[in-house]
Amino acid sequence: MNELPEEIEQEICSYLMTCNSHHKYIYNKTSLQYYKKQASYRFCAPIRMYNKDICQFCDAKTIRYIKMATYSSFS
């Protein structure tokens, strides 16, 4: 089986792994190195909202909007 060049693998990983909750996309040594290299991952915290896993910090604006919409409907 032929291997992809490292630059192409890094580019693929940049599209796959955008948050700490995407650690399931680690599939080989190169992807693990890419995952460890990203410093912003350590601050991510996945939460469950409406039966969907989203990141507390990456999707902060979305969470704030949903909470405001939910609270305004009870007024």
Tell me the per-residue pLDDT of 36-74, one tens digit each, with 9 for 90 and over. Answer: 887 566 667 777 877 877 777 778 888 888 888 877 666
Coil, strand, or helix at residue 54?
strand
Q: What is the pTM of this model?
A: 0.53
Whole-angstrom CA distances from 49 to 8, 20, 32 are 34, 17, 28
Task: Give me 12's structure tokens.
Answer: 């693929």
